[in-house]
Amino acid sequence: MNSKTPKYRFPEFVENWQTITLNNALETDVVKNSKGKYQKEDMLSVSSSAGVVNQMEYHGRSYAGKSVLPYNILKKGQIVYTKSPLKNYPFGIIKYNTHADGIVSTLYAVYSIIKGNSGEFIDYYFQLSERQNRYLKPLVNIGAKNDMKVNNNKVLIDSVVFPKFNEQQRIASFFSVIDQKNQALKNKKELLKEYKKGIAQKIFSQDIRFKDKNGKNFPDWEEKNGNKVFISISNKNHDSNLPILAITQEHGAIPRELIGFKISVSDKSVDGYKVVEVGDFIISLRSFQGGIEYSHYHGICSPAYIILRPKTAVCDNFYKFYFKTPEYIQQLNKKLEGIRDGKMISYKYFSEIKLPIPSLPEQNKIAEFLSSIEQKIELINKQLNDTKDWKKGLLQKMFC
């Protein structure tokens, strides 16, 4: 056996890691659900980010077939491997089951952990996509679509580099603390998102009102049709050197290169693109799903989009938040035209929807308040990304 040592180690461990085959750590443990102990609601699957999950809880439905009797039983504390190719894990995923007992597809392989090994350690060992791809690549023939079952004769003779049990446990415990911190941040983020959604609903329905700097009530809100507040702009006067904007529900209007979105366009087709200014709103083909998008960028976009620009003085951020509320999106859904995937909101139908118009100072105050919550969410996002990068670095340096 070859011996190796990782870059980072806990000081109490000095013994070299050993190169072994997986059949020294895992053994096949296939038990069919032939007696029907588990039903469709007990169907489990594997997620690269969440690990073993219950399909009903995670996906909102079970993907089990008519009969679950041929399915394999997966118990808590076992290891499961699926060859299902994903973008970052094209050669499959190995996960330790911390979930309750259940059943998995027959395309999954189920293993018990041989005494002297830690299931949690094995899970962390294979969390890096590059490590999974390096070890598991020889096991999967991506082109063989009808041959997705795991071949244990190949899996269990694959080589890995493991320490002794005590060090496995110490490493797994360390990464478990990182995961707990990550989960706490995710929970905090979700709570803030729910709070923002709930408080925005109360603000825009005027259940909550702000006061001016003197503690007095702001004037009553007005309501006007969309075309009284925003005008449709179709400026195609540009030299084609402006960045092409992608109109997305997640990022709003954003230069394509910033999100890795690539599509080839000819100079001639770009000539017909519309100019988008900072502060413009865009009605996209999917506005009825995610609201109207806002642009922080000066660029050009496809002529298929409708560009909206304020006719009077407004607070951009006030309408940026308002156009994303479920209540406004529900109104957009009633104004669809077109067929197939070309469904969109016309300027005519946008104009028929009444918009709330608080006084400009109140618009600013509302926007500042909601922006402050958004900034807190963005800060947590940064912490999550930093933790993710830190963990990835440790996964690279604390394993051979």
Q: Transcribe 328-387 into DSSP letters.
A: HHHHHHTTEESSGGG-EE-HHHHHHSEEEE--HHHHHHHHHHHHHHHHHHHHHHHHHHHH
Contact 236, 274 (CB under 8 A): yes
3-163 and 222-356 share one fold: yes
pLDDT at 339 over 50: no
pLDDT at 142: 47
The model carries a pTM of 0.81
User: Over the stretch 61-83, which tens digit does the pLDDT of each residue have?
Assistant: 999 988 999 999 999 999 998 87
Other beta carbons within 10 angstroms of residue 56's beta carbon come to: 16
Return the SS3 of 309.
strand
| C-alpha–C-alpha distance, residues 36 and 101, integer Å | 13
Q: Which CATH architecture has domain 164-219+358-400?
A: Orthogonal Bundle (1.10)
Domain boundaries, the chain: 3-163, 164-219+358-400, 222-356
The answer to whether domain 3-163 has CATH 3.40.50 is no
User: Over the stretch 235-294, which tens digit does the pLDDT of each residue have?
Assistant: 999 987 899 999 998 889 999 988 877 666 655 678 889 999 999 999 988 888 889 999
Looking at CATH, the fold of the domain delimited by 222-356 is given as: Adenine-n6-DNA-methyltransferase TaqI; Chain A, domain 2 (3.90.220)
User: Over the stretch 98-143, which tens digit does the pLDDT of each residue have?
Assistant: 999 999 998 889 999 999 999 999 999 988 866 665 555 545 554 4
Tally the residues of the chain. Answer: 400
Structure tokens that stand for 217 in this block: 């009530």
Contact 247, 293 (CB under 8 A): yes
Contact 118, 112 (CB under 8 A): no
The kind and range of the H/E element at 113 are strand 109-113
